[in-house]
Amino acid sequence: MDKKKTITYFQLFTLMFFLNNASIFILGLPKPLFQDGWIGILMCLGIEMIILVFYWVLIIKHPHSDLSMIIKNTFGKSIGKIIVLIYAGYFIYIAYRVMEDLYYLLDITLLLNTPKYAIYLAALPVLIYCINLGVDALGRISVIMFSFIMIAFVLEVFGHFTTATDVNNFTPILERGWAPILEWSSTQFMVLFGEIVVVLVYFKNVKDTKKAMKFVYLTVIINAIIMVLFFCVDTLTLDPVLAEITTYPIMIIAQLILVPFLEKIDVIIFALIIFISFMKVLVLFYASSALTVSVFKKANKLLVNIFLGIIIFMFAMFSNQSILRFFDVGLEIVPIYLHFPLQIGIPILMVVLSLFKRFPKNKEESK
C-alpha cells in the first residue's frame, strides 16, 4: 500500500503530534494528580523513552521495514499475519474510542440531542475518502491542520494570560507524595505516548528508518513539552480540584478565557479539539488499513476502508456505556489488556527473538 509514496520527517512529526495530544486536549489529563500533573507527564515521558529503546533495536534489526514487515520477519508469515491483523483491529478500535470521546463532548456542547448515528454517518465518509487518497495526501493534510491548530493554540495560550489566573493553583507541590504519581504514570504513559507504535506503520514511507527513529525521540520530547505547557496554562485558569470533578474541564476553561479582540474563543477551542481528534482518527484509521492490505494484498483498498468504517460504526451503535463507564474502560481496562501487550509485550518479545535470528538486510529480501 502506497509503496512508492513517501512522507517527509516534518509530516511524520505532525502525524505524531496528533497521535499524542488528542487525549490531553479533550480530557485535560492528568486530572487525578491535581496540581502535580506536570510531574506525571514528565515521568510518563521518561518511561516512554525507555520503551522506545526496544523500538530502536527493532529498527536496527529490521532496516527499511514497517510494523507489518517486522512482525512477519520475526514470527513467520502464518503467525505474523494473525498478529498483524490483531494490530489492525487494535488501531481501528482506538480510532473508534477517539471518535466516541469526541461524540460525547459534542453531544453535551455543540450538537445537543443529535443522534449518534447522524454524527458517525457524517464523519465516516470523509475519513474513508481521506484515507483512500494515500499516505502522501495524509501527510499534506496533517501539515495543513497542524498550521491551523498552532494558530488556534497560540490564541488560546494568549487568552489564558489575559484572563484572571492564580499561580497558587500549583501549590503545594507533591501534596500527596510520590505514590499517586508513580501509580498513575505506570499505566497512563501508554495512553499519553504509547500509541507511538502506530508510527512504525508509516516507516515504509520514509526514506531512512533509522533517521526517522531519531526523529521519533525528538518528537516525543516536543509533544511532552506541549502537554506540560497545555496543562500548566489550564491549571493557572482552573482550580485543579474543580478540574478533577469535571468531566470536560475544557468546557469551563473555554468560558473563562478572554481574548480582547475575539468574542468567541470557545468556538476556536472546540474547533481545535475537533481537528485534533479528526486527525488522530485518520492516523489510526490509515494504520489499520495499511496493515489489513499488507495481509490481503489483492484486496481493494477502498473496500477495505469501507469495511473498517463499518466496523467503527458498528462499535458505536452497539455501545450502550455511560460516559463515565466509557472513561473508566479507557483509563483502567484498555491500558492493561490492550495497550500493554501490544505496545510493550509483543515489541519486547520481537526484540528478544531478533537477538537470536538472522534477518535479510534489504527491502526485497524482507518481503
- 282, 198 Cβ separation under 8 angstroms: no
Predicted local confidence at residue 256, as pLDDT: 72
Predicted local confidence at residue 22, as pLDDT: 65
Residue 310 domain-assigned (yes or no): yes
List C-alpha distances in Å: 364 to 69, 88, 353: 11, 23, 21
Q: What is the mean pLDDT of residues 292-321?
A: 92
Residue 63 domain-assigned (yes or no): yes
Burial class (CB in 10 A: 0-12, 13-18, 19+), 325: exposed
List C-alpha distances in Å: 168 to 232, 233, 246: 12, 13, 20
Residue 15 domain-assigned (yes or no): no
Looking at the chain, the whole-number percentage of residues with pLDDT higher than 70 is 89
Q: Please calculate the CA angle 284-287-288 and round it to the nearest 5 degrees.
A: 90
Range of the domain at 85: 23-171+190-357
**Rounded distance, CA 41 to CA 189, Å?**
8
**Helix and strand tally (H, E) in the chain?**
16, 0
Give 104 or 124, the one with higher predicted confidence.
124
Residue 362 domain-assigned (yes or no): no
Mean of pLDDT over the chain:
84
pLDDT digits (tens, 9 = 90+) for 255-266: 777 666 666 677
Residue 16 domain-assigned (yes or no): no
Residue 223 domain-assigned (yes or no): yes
Number of domains in the chain: 1
- Give the three cell numbers for residue 319: 455501545
- pTM exceeding 0.85: yes
pLDDT digits (tens, 9 = 90+) for 268-281: 778 888 888 899 99
pLDDT digits (tens, 9 = 90+) for 15-26: 988 887 766 666
Predicted local confidence at residue 309, as pLDDT: 95
Residues 6+ apart with CB under 8 A from 185: 40, 43, 44, 47
Residue 11 domain-assigned (yes or no): no
Buried b or exposed e, range 65-99, using 16+ CB within 10 angstroms: bbbbbbbbbbbeeeebbebbbbbbbbbbbbbbbbb
Residue 126 domain-assigned (yes or no): yes
Dihedral angle computed from the Cα positions of residues 340, 36, 229 and 156, in that order, rounded to the nearest 10 degrees: 110
pLDDT digits (tens, 9 = 90+) for 334-343: 988 999 999 9
